[in-house]
Structure 1
Amino acid sequence: MFLITTCIGATAIADNGEQLLHRADSLYRMGNFEKAVEVYLQSAEAGNAEAQFDIGYAYYTGEGTQRDYTSAAMWFKRSAKQNFAKAQYNLAYCYMNGRGVPRDYDKAYNLLLKSAENNYKRAQLTLADCYARGVLVEKNEDEYNKWKDKAEGKNTEQAPKQQKETLKGDFDIQVDMPGEKPKEQPKDTAQTQQKQNVILGPNELKKANTTATAQTATTPTATAPILRILYPEDQSIFHTDQVKLKYQLLTNGCTDSTRIVVMVDGQRLPTTRAVRAANTIDVDLPRHDCTIMMYAQNSCGNSEPVSLRLIRETSQFELPKLFVVAIGVGDYNDPKLPKLKFTCKDAQDFAKVVATKKGLPYEDVQVKLLCDSEATRADIFEAMEWLKQESSPNDVCIFFYAGHGLRDEKDRFFFIPYGCNSDKLYDCFSATDFRNEAEDINGKLIAFVDACYSGALFEGTRSAATSHFVEQLKRAKNGMLLYASSSSDTKSREDESWGNGAFTKALVESFNGAAREEQSEGLSTQELEHFLYKEVRKITDFKQTPIFINPNGIEHFNIFNYEK
């Protein structure tokens, strides 16, 4: 009876998601994009893969909602996990250009390959082009012909059924192989448009005929050029509107026909000023952190893209940004670990309340939410890498974790991500992993950990091992503050009456204004410390005492400002 009830419930949710999708599509056709986004989101949250793709597309393009690459990549990822080919394709583009996720060419290729194997024609054509031009992969004429033939339906094997076409809005992003100037697509009426997705290519945005590109692509046997950036170094600080790049170029006999293509944050620069004799090029920079990508192009092919991350030196008059990683793990896919009922809700509640702090005083607030199966060890590493790539010294980063924690016999603390085997703690996300990732994050970092045994992560008096960890934190990262749910091994109580761990409940309440003191302009790190200490002990009948540590002794500051 339980299995039957579960199946009926799952079917009902799926049917509801499909109905919501049809309703959203109807609203989209009528041009009511904002309402369509609301309904797409409902369908996506019900688990509909196509709606997850649609809401990702909306966040990516800013159509019907505010543009948010982080949310776009998150929804593309959820849809791609359900094997939705177009989402795999768009997620590959995100990894290629570092939009909402850290730049990762290996993941971009793997996703492109999955999309092509799912019989998505554009992915097959793009993959053929990659093999023809030596982008992402080495040139391979056999692979080029294989994917080109599959795209044209020439393969003899029975092709799987293609996923049905979806709708598209006015904002159209298409990306192809490098070499052509971006073009705008003329707008059409909402009723006659067909939904389009982001077409993968290594770099630039343009309107292109992918079929024609693949058909005319050649596979020259000459060696492609090689390009390296010599100066400045990666993660360099800048404060001007222009930077002079020095590079090394090996043209392999095609010097006269070689040109350098430069992109900033995935957008190709319309003009560049190169001094070929000195191998330098002047690049105009935006007034924020950016990623520069370059490649060389000639008749022999394209070089491997090279990238450079630059951090803008901010003044006291520039507003900071807030970057948040919120992790909630209750289902570990490990029968030895008990499931925690409210941890995903903890992360969702915290993500929701922190997203309201835009303008107080943050110029922007970006939240990456990882729950259960989305919170593997690899996912957590990727999220930390995202913090490192996106944040500048003027920004504030928050790491929130609600879930299970374990101590080993040497008193070392481990976060337990999804899929981690409790018998093999070295496969989990350790305190050392956290320290290594945290030390390269720019700006201030605040960590909130609502987990069993979290006192072992921070408490210096427990053992030489944890004392050593705190000392390492002091040397590794300036501007880090850490709040743990308990100074002892007591677990954070879960209560049906409020549905959160005691620590998270108090934390969310503090962000909602419960910790506000008279004459306070905002919630300071010190006021938060006092509130959590008092409130958690009250909720747990004095059985649980949170702990706060400031390893570098930095001055207390306002995490956010209160609305006037």
Structure 2
Amino acid sequence: RDCEISLIAENKHAASVPANVRVHWHGRMAEFVIQPKLYVLAVGVGQYEDASLRLEFAAKDARDFAEAMRRQQGGLYRHVECKLLADAQAAKGDILDGLEWIQRQTTSKDVAAIFLAGHGINDDSGFYYFAPVDFQRERVKRTAVPWSEVKGTVESLAGKVLFFVDTCHAGAVMGPKRRDTADFTRIINELASAESGAVVFAASTGRQASLEDPAWNNGAFTRAVVEGLEGKADYHRSGRITINMLDLYISERVKELTQGRQTPTTTKPQTIPDFPVALTR
């Protein structure tokens, strides 16, 4: 911070001898700020082995989300690492390995983002599961990913956690254009509890259907998330998109796309303040 300033007087005839002044800095040094790393686990299952469960855009939703997050490298995050599990790469074992991967990689200085798109189901006892590509209706416990595994991973993550979920109830499938969501309000609230510490963006509330359409080339929820991250949620034109801004944009955009038939929700612990999640380019 110290420096030396040299002054020279000059006219058309000559130049003076330099007068040197040493300037000493007595202020505080600038704080060294470490940019976080971002670890992303994006899971999307549409091409189920059980053809009756197939969804058109779930896998693409995961790909588009992962790509939107990758583009944040060099901005808010010094490094972005993504693990994408789509369709055939999203068997039960693959998803469990992905959860273990993000748990192992993330430190207290990092940000973790988990994205799930596909079907969710309740078993006869009311326990909730995520359906991987190799899910079998008659063998739920053996072939589905228990929500307890997801919750346990989220609770164990040391840094900030963003959780995006767009799932549905496999027992009430109404065709390839519609994802019927089970009422997992309690489950979402548990993920966003003070103990878990995750900010949860859910595609719909209660038992609403989560919608997808070729006109959007995505599910409505993912279309809104990606648009928001790419800059449309920057309401202040500050170059930064925060949790609250993204929440507002997703809510308004999904309502617009679905004509009010789908209501996304964002839940976060009261102890977590609003913070930036993306920078606009």
* Same fold (TM > 0.5): yes
In 2, Cα distance between the equivalents of 1:395 and 1:416?
28
Is the helix fraction higher in 1 or 2? 1
CA shift, 1:409, in A, is 4.9
Number of matched pairs: 239
Q: Which position in structure 2 is the counterpart of 1:474?
A: 193
Q: Which residue of 2 aligns with 1:406?
A: 121
Match of 1:390 among 78, 101, 105: 105
Maintained 8 Å contact 1:452/1:490? no
2 CA distance for matches of 1:431 and 1:316?
39
List alignment gaps of at least 5 residues for structure 1: 1-314, 461-465
- Asked if 1:423 is matched to 2:138, the reply is yes
- The answer for the alignment partner of 1:443 in structure 2 is 159
Q: 1:316 to 1:339 in 2, by over 3 A?
A: farther
Q: Quick check: 1:327 aligned with 2:46?
A: no
Q: SS state of the match for residue 244, structure 2?
A: helix
Give the Cα–Cα distance (whole angstroms) in 2 for the partners of residues 472 and 481 of structure 1.
8
One of 317, 330, 333 as aligned partner of 2:33: 317
Q: Distance in 1 between matches of 2:32 and 2:248?
A: 28
Q: Secondary structure in 1 aligned to 2:137?
A: coil
- 2:263 equivalent in structure 1: 545
Cα offset for 1:552? 5.2
% identical aligned pairs: 31
Contact 1:414 1:431 in 2 (8 A): yes
Residue 354 of structure 1: aligned partner:
69
The code of the aligned residue for 1:329 comes to: V
Query: Whole-Å Cα distance in 2 between the matches of residues 471 and 399 of structure 1?
Result: 16
Deviation sequence 1:13-59 (CA, Å, 0-9, x none): xxxxxxxxxxxxxxxxxxxxxxxxxxxxxxxxxxxxxxxxxxxxxxx
Aligned twin of 1:9: none
Higher strand share: 2
Letter in 1 for 2:40: V
Q: Are residues 1:452 and 2:171 paired?
A: no
- Letter paired with 2:145: F
Cα separation, 2, equivalents of 1:383 and 1:471: 21
Asked whether the 8 Å contact 1:435–1:476 carries over to 2, the reply is no
Whether the 8 Å contact between 2:251 and 2:264 is mirrored in structure 1 is yes
How far 1:418 sits from its partner (Å)? 1.4
Structure 2 CA distance for aligned equivalents of residues 387 and 502 of structure 1: 26
Give the equivalent residue in structure 1 for 2:17. Answer: none
1:521, distance to aligned residue in structure 2 (A): 3.7
Q: Is 2:226 the counterpart of 1:499?
A: no
Partner of residue 277, structure 2? 559
CA distance 1:318–1:514, change in 2 (3 Å) = same
Q: What are structure 2's unaligned runs of at least 5 residues?
A: 1-30, 170-180
Equivalent residue, structure 1, for 2:207: 489
SS state of the match for residue 222, structure 2? helix
**TM-score under structure 2 length normalisation:** 0.78
3-state SS of the aligned residue for 1:423? helix
Amino acid at match of 1:378: G
Identify which of structures 1 and 2 has the higher relative contact order when contacts are C-alpha pairs closer than 8 Å and 6+ apart.
2
- State the secondary structure of the residue aligned to 2:212: coil
- Cα deviation digits, residues 312-356 of structure 1 (max 9, x gap): xxx961110011011110122124x42111111111111111111
Contact 1:506-1:532 within 8 A present in 2 as well:
yes
| Superimposed CA distance per residue, residues 177-225 of structure 1 (whole angstroms, 9 cap, x where no aligned partner) | xxxxxxxxxxxxxxxxxxxxxxxxxxxxxxxxxxxxxxxxxxxxxxxxx
Q: Which residue of 2 aligns with 1:258?
A: none
Change (3 A) 1:431 1:319: same
Q: Paired residue for 1:514?
A: 232
Change (3 A) 1:323 1:332: same
Specify the SS of the correspondent of 2:274: coil
Structure-2 change in CA distance of 1:553 and 1:409 (3 Å): farther
- 2:16 alignment counterpart: none
- Quote how far apart the aligned CAs of 1:411 are: 4.5
- Look up the equivalent residue of 1:397 and give its one-letter code: A
Distance 1:316 1:331, change over 3 A: farther
What is the CA distance between 1:488 and its match in structure 2? 2.7
Q: TM-score, normalised by structure 1?
A: 0.40
What CA distance in whole angstroms lies between the structure 1 residues aligned with 2:32 and 2:161?
18
Query: Compared with structure 1, are the counterparts of its residues 473 and 499 closer, same or farther at alpha carbon in structure 2 (3 Å cutoff)?
Result: closer
Cα 1:471/1:405, change in 2 over 3 Å: closer
**Structure 1 residues 494 and 519, CA gap change in structure 2 (3 angstroms):** closer
Aligned residue in 1 for 2:86: 371
Deviation at 1:475, TM superposition (A): 5.4
Judge conservation of contact 1:397–1:446 (CA < 8 Å) in 2.
Answer: yes
CA contact (8 A) 1:329 1:344 kept: yes
The CA deviation at 1:472 is: 7.2
Contact 2:120–2:182 (8 Å) recurs in 1: no
The answer to whether the 8 Å contact 1:330/1:341 transfers is: yes
For residues 186-197 of structure 1, what are the structure 2 equivalents within 5 Å? Answer: none
Tell me which structure has the larger Cα radius of gyration: 1
Report the CA distance shift for 1:366/1:424 in structure 2 as closer, same or farther (over 3 A): same
For residues 238 and 123 of structure 2, what CA distance do their matches in structure 1 show? 42
**Residues 160-175 of structure 1 correspond to what in structure 2 (within 5 A)?**
none
Relative distance call for 1:473 and 1:481 in structure 2 (3 A) is closer
Matched to 1:442, the amino acid is A
Q: Deviations over 1:454-496 (max 9, x none)?
A: 5633x13xxxxx4xx7347625423x11111110323322212
1:321 partner amino acid:
K
Instruction: Return the alpha-carbon distance in structure 2 between the equivalents of residues 526 and 409 of structure 1.
Output: 37
Matched residue of 1:392: which SS? coil
CA shift for structure 1 position 402: 1.3
Correspondence 1:277-356 to 2 at 5 A: 317-335=33-51, 337-356=52-71
Q: Would the aligned equivalents of 2:190 and 2:196 in 1 still touch at CA under 8 Å?
A: no
